[in-house]
Amino acid sequence: MIDIKFLRENPEVVKQNIRNKFQDSKLPLVDEVIRLDSENRAIIQEADQLRSNRNRLSKEIGVLMGKGQKEEAEKVKAEVANQSNRLAECEKLEEELAGKIRDIMLIIPNIIDPSVPIGKDDSENVEIERFGEPVVPDFEIPYHTDIMERFCGIDLDSARRVAGNGFYYLMGDIARLHSAMTAYARDFMINRGFTYVIPPFMIRSDVVTGVMSFAEMDAMMYKIEGEDLYLIGTSEHSMIGKFIDQIIPEAELPYTLTSYSPCFRKEKGAHGIEERGVYRIHQFEKQEMIVICKPEDSMTWYNKLWQNTVDFFRTLDIPVRTLECCSGDLADLKVKSCDVEAWSPRQKKYFEVGSCSNLGDAQARRLKIRINDNGKKYFAHTLNNTVVAPPRMLIAFLENNLQEDGTVTIPVALRPYMGGIEKLIPKK
């Protein structure tokens, strides 16, 4: 959420930012906020004047009563009553206007970083760098669920009968591989100085609206019927929510946290849910990294975060690349974002396995997460990035470590988490 003072003083900057994100339908909102803000400030000024007058007149009543001028005192009392009635009207109007302003401000997109490339959608994202050499083997790479089925490692039919499309049973070596990856990701981040956290898997509505836009909320979140609770779509939601209404001593920053959680997503929209695979599903698990820091440090942490994911994948012999998200592909709260994509030998292209985001002070402003610097208070910056989401990681891992004889090589870094096994041997 943008600072109302910034919008008031820089309306054209805010409008150009909206154009850069190809959301021209939101342009009238800027003028609407300015109008409502002007009206609200006038009401606040009137209310302040009424309070001042009421205090002055109340003292005058006491003086008049002390002099025995009861009739004059009653006239002043009537005036105080009239002003009190008007003050009540002003306070109600002030609350209504503030609510309208906030509702609109939640829709206006955050100001993107000047380095973000301008583009309409993800087709105009820009490749930054490649890490590792993409290899296409001489033998055919099967579809990822076909590989898993050779190890008796997945059951989609049973999952559909139990829960519908978008769910799965993982079994045997594939389930063990899944758990090994999350455990390795946990230790990988702990070794880089991050504190391990297991957060709540449900959050209240005030946290939901604090961490994401309404469009994201509608497309992603599952609501618990009859309660003010939502299932999290990623642990970032509850991890940032942990600091709601908090004032953090500057000396304690940065907070560097890595969190594990299941994730639940509707996956509404054009992508849809796969019937055969585990690339886009309703339920998965993820290891995340979150940073709360001072504004001047956020871009440094942004670069550290995506590099962590690259390094993690490279220890598992998976080639990756980073892709800068263009303006039209940025969610409304994001200042800057890049995707980490893994190489798919079967598709002969890269696919997304994680996303790193700098949200500036947008989430902190919505959730009132402030930093205290010797009495001076200002909003923190928040960042998040995927370490690993095993369903997609399983696809990348199996394709890149599959051998011609059908076995799957276990990289050295992962072997301690797989009981020392050096390769998986298919059962079929």
Which position has the token pair 């760098």? 129
Q: Are 254 and 218 part of one and the same domain?
A: yes
Residue 270 has pLDDT above 60, yes or no: no
Give residue 80's pLDDT.
81
> Does one domain contain both 227 and 357?
yes
Give the CA-trace dihedral at 415, 419, 423, 428, to 10 degrees.
-150
Full-model pTM: 0.90
Q: Are residues 72 and 143 in the same domain?
A: no
Residue 52's pLDDT band, with cuts at 50, 70 and 90, is confident
Whether residues 208 and 160 fall in one domain: yes
Q: Which residues have C-beta within 8 Å of that of residue 103, sequence separation ≥ 6? A: none
Q: Which residues contact 322 (CB under 8 A, 6 or more apart)?
A: 127, 128, 129, 131, 306, 310, 338, 339, 340, 341
Residue 291: which of 185, 221, 192, 183 has the closest Cα? 192
234: number of CA atoms within 13 Å, CB side? 22
Residue 196 lies in a domain: yes
CATH number of the domain that 203 lies in? 3.30.930.10
Distance between CA atoms of residues 1 and 33, nearest Å: 13
Quick check: is 111 in a domain? no
- pLDDT at 268 exceeding the cut of 70: no
Residues whose CB is less than 8 angstroms from the CB of residue 99 and which lie 6 or more positions away in sequence, other chains included: none
Residue that wins the pLDDT comparison between 104 and 59: 104
- If one counts the domains in the chain, the total is 2
219 and 309 co-located in one domain: yes
Quick check: 107 and 331 in contact, CB under 8 A? no
Residue range 48-55: mean pLDDT, rounded:
86
> Average pLDDT for residues 303-327, to the nearest whole number?
97
Tell me whether residue 115 is in a domain: no
210 with 162, same domain? yes
Tell me if 116 is assigned to some domain.
Answer: no
- How distant, in Å, are the alpha carbons of 50, 163, 242 from that of 247? 33, 42, 12
pLDDT value for 110:
96
**Domain C-terminal end among 105, 136, 170:** 105
Task: Assess if residue 144 is contained within a domain.
Answer: yes
Residue 106 makes CB contacts below 8 A (sequence gap 6+) with: 1, 209, 213, 214, 366
pLDDT tens-digit profile of 332-341? 999 999 999 9
- Helices 27-66 and 11-20 sit at what angle, rounded to 10 degrees? 150
The more confidently predicted of residues 53 and 386 is: 386
**Residue range 207-250, pLDDT digits in tens:** 999 998 877 888 889 999 999 999 999 999 999 999 999 999 99
> Based on the domain organization, do 161 and 268 belong to the same domain?
yes
Residue type, 104: I
Q: What is the pLDDT of residue 258?
A: 98
The pLDDT of 351-380, averaged and rounded, is 96
In the prediction, which pLDDT does 54 show? 81
Give yes or no for residue 274 having a pLDDT over 80: no
Domain closes at, from 73, 105, 137: 105
Residues 151 and 79 placed together within one structural domain of the fold: no
Span 391-417, average pLDDT: 96
pLDDT of residue 315: 96
CATH label of the domain that carries residue 92: 1.10.287.40
Cβ contacts of residue 283 below 8 Å, gap of 6+?
Answer: 166, 167, 262, 263, 264, 265
- To the nearest whole percent, how much of the chain has pLDDT over 90? 84
Structural domain of 50? 4-105
Lowest average pLDDT, out of 129-143, 258-272, 338-352, 388-402, goes to 258-272
CA nearest to 254, candidates 369, 339, 334 = 369
| C-beta separation of 299 from 358 below 8 A | yes
- In the block, which residue shows the tokens 């702990």? 190
- What was the pLDDT predicted at 272? 58
Question: Is 301 a domain residue?
Answer: yes
Does the residue 113 lie in any domain?
no
Rounded Cα gap, residues 64 and 38, in angstroms:
39
Q: Is residue 61 domain-shared with residue 154, that is, in the same domain?
A: no
8 and 138 co-located in one domain: no
Asked whether residue 114 is domain-assigned, the answer is no
Domain boundary among 70, 105, 140: 105
Mean pLDDT score of the chain: 94
Please check whether residues 68 and 167 belong to one and the same domain: no
DSSP-derived 3-state class of residue 102: helix
- pLDDT greater than 80 at residue 377: yes
* Domain identity same for 285 and 331: yes
β partners of residue 292: 255, 382
281-307: per-residue pLDDT in tens?
Answer: 999 999 999 999 999 999 999 999 999
